[in-house]
Amino acid sequence: MSPWEDFGREGGLFRRLRADAAADWQAYTWHEFCRRLSDGSLPLVAFQDFLIQDYLFLIQFARAKALAVFKAESLEAMREKTASISAILAETTMHLTYCAEWGIPEAKVRATPESAETVSYTRYVIDRGLAGDILDLEVALAPCTVGYGEVALRILADPARKLQGNPYQSWIEAYGSDSYQKLAREAAARIDALGESHGGHARFPMLTATFGEAARLEQRFWQQGLDAAAS
Amino acid sequence: MSPWEDFGREGGLFRRLRADAAADWQAYTWHEFCRRLSDGSLPLVAFQDFLIQDYLFLIQFARAKALAVFKAESLEAMREKTASISAILAETTMHLTYCAEWGIPEAKVRATPESAETVSYTRYVIDRGLAGDILDLEVALAPCTVGYGEVALRILADPARKLQGNPYQSWIEAYGSDSYQKLAREAAARIDALGESHGGHARFPMLTATFGEAARLEQRFWQQGLDAAAS
Amino acid sequence: MSPWEDFGREGGLFRRLRADAAADWQAYTWHEFCRRLSDGSLPLVAFQDFLIQDYLFLIQFARAKALAVFKAESLEAMREKTASISAILAETTMHLTYCAEWGIPEAKVRATPESAETVSYTRYVIDRGLAGDILDLEVALAPCTVGYGEVALRILADPARKLQGNPYQSWIEAYGSDSYQKLAREAAARIDALGESHGGHARFPMLTATFGEAARLEQRFWQQGLDAAAS
Amino acid sequence: MSPWEDFGREGGLFRRLRADAAADWQAYTWHEFCRRLSDGSLPLVAFQDFLIQDYLFLIQFARAKALAVFKAESLEAMREKTASISAILAETTMHLTYCAEWGIPEAKVRATPESAETVSYTRYVIDRGLAGDILDLEVALAPCTVGYGEVALRILADPARKLQGNPYQSWIEAYGSDSYQKLAREAAARIDALGESHGGHARFPMLTATFGEAARLEQRFWQQGLDAAAS
């Protein structure tokens, strides 16, 4: 078993969702953008475009987590999700510093409008969260949180990975780190747990549609960076 | 089996919810207000107060159904629920006529603010609908739709029912009618069907909490009429 | 003044929004897709792709209108918006017939997933509607309703329009019809009225951001058809 | 000018709302419950009932703040409101300790269902927040935050206040403290600022209806404690 097949537990909802969306999941987590992060060939402008949209993404991601607080069913869950919002909002500030290191002035990041790709995934998540319950919301969010964990593990195991002088090393390390991997594992475990408590298997047709659409929208998110470099 | 135990199907989610909330359900569907509708002893002022709040209730009920359209998972479900909104909005107009027949001028109905009891049940339903999915919403709505059907059947079978000159005969007939009973049966059947497709049995602890709270808030809705008469 | 500059009233919120988003509005309402509908040169596959996504769009549009019912502030507004949902749901059925006339089997329409472009505009509208009030929602919806009215008027006045044997004549007639133009005028008038009652001028910075983003997302919606034909 | 007339600024939206709802505001902020906190005559059981429901209230209040994060229009506002959620969730823990000091075991607090009064105000706030925008939500919340500040100031200035051996001294001090008064002043200032940026004066009819209803529902919240003692 590859290390990235280890998220979630055997027989749990997360693995079932991942398996059912196999083609879309593969196309997302091993997208050309990811492979070129790995071999270091990704054009700088593609990465810069991605970083700016990722900043705009984080703001919407924090809003989705706020919705999760609203929908949480225990004080403990409310506390955990509130801590997530705080962490994401702190990350937006760090992200501006990171963008600056990549030559993108803060003013430019702030002035860029959200792309259709950023809007589509983030608002899809928010809509699933409002139309459905906490499980629908978490299933729409999981491709992001768990998926980035898988992307990092795939890069770390990639024979074509550029080890010396890979310009994207800091990004790879951030998502390959123990702390991020822990977050990703927890997100998959949350899906498994909600799958049990919220009838995930009975609801599988709807949930797999959500998960698959989210994976497709994440592919588009990577693709926009490549398109920016090509244009 | 009493006729009012016939809503929903054996082993279905509706009957399980009703059984689990037995004491609250009984206190709601055979509230003193209902018994006095049946024996004709309900003070006029209690009924008038109820009618006004019921008008305000209908408006919020239509909003809850709009939320159900937003959350519906098929075009067919969207159509059915849109037809429900139209029917409820038409009912508000008829309700004004009915109020006028009971000596309540339209201007008074429109000028009365919602009571805490009206606010509590209606907004509880809306909140459950926003926090949860379509099943949570329907479970919060069911005590109203199915419950009024049960109230009417209990009155129709009540040995103490005043048959001659019962001032509330028109109300009893409206909810005892085939057309209303069909609505109530359909609502219970919807809960059963959603129970299957949306993991209702796995989610029972949360759903029974919702159903029970809704039944308690409905008791308070009846009680406000009696309180109005007592004050 | 061109006929399409006649939506909304002088000094009203709609015209102010349209003027402030002039470049994006022009790029949307006179997109290459529209110009090629006019001169008849649009590839069939582009139009077919558009028709399928337009069907999926309508379903989400009905959901956005359901949200408008939930947010409406009078029974009259609730009735109008409920009638809109019914009309849109009826249109989905007619749309399937129209697709069939264009050689797209119903099964194909139903089996096609929403594109990122369809998701982005529709969920953006829904999110603005949930984050904001009825004015925010209507401002996010207006580029669709009023914009299609403007597109049709621009085509009708286009010197390059192909009059004889234009394959897209039925589409042009549908949106150029008195009945559709009336809908578009009413939508602009609603924005003007809500602008007065809901502080539209004080809220202009936020509203113009919404309107502009919606116009950009509509451009992308047209573009996806051209991209489908190019690929 | 009494010190409690000092919330908000002259000509600002908060003072206008307070003035327009004068009778309901007075009935809420100087309710018999408050007067008896002041003179120390409030029955212990009334205060205990209040404390339990106040705990349940806090949980819903945190959910309403989560909705405010979702609706916030800047990162700064998102951060402030997220800090509010954290503070409220921390308060729930302290509240359990406070309840224990008043002889209410934690298990009893946790096992008590929300009363209709608690449901009505909290869900009304949440519904206004979802139906409207951030201003509608803040206007629905203000009677709580600012109102408790006013209650404390009224008690502190009350000639009938029992100074020696008042059993409710700790409650009076908590809400009369500089830190709470600062919170209350900030909430009023937020209403004033949103009133400017979000067209509050144009929207006054709707906003005053929300503020007045919230004040009436807060009266009911106090009253439930007295009713509990009377029964």
The separation between the first and the last C-alpha atoms of chain B, rounded to the nearest angstrom, is: 39
Residues whose CB falls within 8 Å of the CB of residue C11, separated by 6 or more in sequence, listed in order:
none
pLDDT tier at C73, thresholds 50, 70, 90: very high
pLDDT surpasses 90 at B1 = no
Specify the pLDDT at position B231: 80
The one-letter amino acid at C78 = M
Mean pLDDT by 10 residues, chain D (231 residues): 93 98 98 98 96 97 98 96 96 94 95 94 98 98 97 98 96 96 97 97 97 97 93 80
Which among D114, D124, D136, D210 is the top mutation candidate for probing chain B, defined by the most B β-carbons within 10 Å of its own β-carbon? D124
pLDDT tier at C96, thresholds 50, 70, 90: very high
Specify the pLDDT at position B135: 98
pLDDT surpasses 90 at C7 = yes
A129 to chain D nearest CA, in Å? 12
CA distances from B153 to B148, B169, C222, D90 (A): 9, 13, 57, 49
Residue whose entry in the numeric block shows the structure tokens 């409207």: D132
pLDDT, tens digit (0-9, with 9 covering 90-100), for A134-167: 999 999 999 999 999 999 999 999 999 999 999 9
ipTM of the complex: 0.94
What SS3 state is found at D174?
Answer: helix
pLDDT tier at A189, thresholds 50, 70, 90: very high
* Strand intervals (E) in chain C: none
CB spacing of B79 vs C70 below 8 angstroms: no
Rounded to whole angstroms, the Cα distance separating D180 from D175 reads 5
Specify the pLDDT at position B107: 95
Q: Nearest residue of A to residue D58 by CA position?
A: A75
User: What tokens appear for C75 in the block?
Assistant: 């029974």
CB spacing of C66 vs B70 below 8 angstroms: yes
Query: Do B135 and B68 form a contact (C-beta atoms < 8 A)?
Result: no
What SS3 state is found at B198?
Answer: coil
- Residue C24 burial (10 A CB sphere; 0-12, 13-18, 19+): buried
Specify the pLDDT at position D231: 80
Specify the pLDDT at position D18: 98
Specify the pLDDT at position D201: 94
Query: Do A135 and A202 form a contact (C-beta atoms < 8 A)?
Result: no
Specify the pLDDT at position B42: 97
D116 to chain B nearest CA, in Å? 6
Query: Is B66 touching C (CB cutoff 8 A)?
Result: yes
CA distances from C15 to C9, C12, C139, C189 (A): 7, 6, 12, 10
pLDDT surpasses 90 at C1 = no
Query: Is D11 touching C (CB cutoff 8 A)?
Result: no
Interface of A with C in 186-225 (CB under 8 A): 213, 216-217, 220
pLDDT, tens digit (0-9, with 9 covering 90-100), for B165-212: 999 999 999 999 999 999 999 999 999 999 999 999 999 999 999 999
Residues whose CB falls within 8 Å of the CB of residue D70, separated by 6 or more in sequence, listed in order:
A63, A66, A67, A70, C130, C131
Output D91-98 pairs: Cβ under 8 A, ≥24 positions apart.
D91/D58, D92/A75, D92/D55, D92/D58, D92/D59, D92/D62, D95/D51, D95/D54, D95/D55, D95/D58, D96/D55, D98/D51, D98/D170
Residue whose entry in the numeric block shows the structure tokens 């990162």: D75
D neighbour chains, 3+ CB pairs within 8 Å:
A, B, C
B76 to chain C nearest CA, in Å? 9
Residues of A in contact with B199 (CB under 8 A): 198-203
Query: Is D119 touching B (CB cutoff 8 A)?
Result: yes
CA distances from A206 to A17, A213, B112, B197 (A): 11, 11, 43, 10
The one-letter amino acid at D25 = W
Residue whose entry in the numeric block shows the structure tokens 């007067």: D35
Specify the pLDDT at position A1: 80
Domains in chain A, ordered, with CATH?
17-230 (1.20.910.10)
Which among A24, A119, A137 is the top mutation candidate for probing chain C, defined by the most C β-carbons within 10 Å of its own β-carbon? A119
Q: Nearest residue of C to residue D70 by CA position?
A: C131
Rounded to whole angstroms, the Cα distance separating D89 from A77 reads 11
Residue D105: count of CB within 10 angstroms of its CB = 11
- Residue A85 burial (10 A CB sphere; 0-12, 13-18, 19+): buried
CB spacing of D213 vs B114 below 8 angstroms: yes
Residue B157 C-alpha from the chain's centroid = 19
User: What tokens appear for C204 in the block?
Assistant: 């202009």
Query: Do D18 and D25 form a contact (C-beta atoms < 8 A)?
Result: yes
Residues of C in contact with A140 (CB under 8 A): none
pLDDT tier at C212, thresholds 50, 70, 90: very high
Q: Please list the alpha-helical segments (H only) found in C132-203.
A: 134-156, 169-176, 178-197
Specify the pLDDT at position A212: 96
- Residue A18 burial (10 A CB sphere; 0-12, 13-18, 19+): buried
Nearest to D120 among B123, B131, B213 (CB): B123
Query: Do C155 and C161 form a contact (C-beta atoms < 8 A)?
Result: yes
pLDDT, tens digit (0-9, with 9 covering 90-100), for A65-100: 999 999 999 999 999 999 999 999 999 999 999 999
Interface of A with C in 133-162 (CB under 8 A): none
Residues whose CB falls within 8 Å of the CB of residue B140, separated by 6 or more in sequence, listed in order:
B124, B125, B128, B129, B210, B211, B214
User: What tokens appear for A181 in the block?
Assistant: 């991997």
Q: Nearest residue of D to residue B120 by CA position?
A: D120
pTM for this model (two decimals): 0.96
Query: Is B67 touching C (CB cutoff 8 A)?
Result: yes
Residue whose entry in the numeric block shows the structure tokens 């390390």: A173
Residues of B in contact with D216 (CB under 8 A): 113, 116
* Positive/negative CA dihedral, C189, C191, C194, C196: negative
Rounded to whole angstroms, the Cα distance separating D121 from C23 reads 46
Specify the pLDDT at position D1: 80
Residues of D in contact with A75 (CB under 8 A): 59, 89, 92
CB spacing of D199 vs C200 below 8 angstroms: yes
Rounded to whole angstroms, the Cα distance separating D144 from D214 reads 8
Query: Is B123 touching D (CB cutoff 8 A)?
Result: yes
- The mean of the pLDDT values for chain C is 96
C227 to chain B nearest CA, in Å? 29
Q: Any idea of the CA torsion for A26, A29, A34, A35, to the nearest 10 degrees?
A: -30
User: What tokens appear for B15 in the block?
Assistant: 């009957």
Q: Which H or E run contains B22?
A: helix B22-29
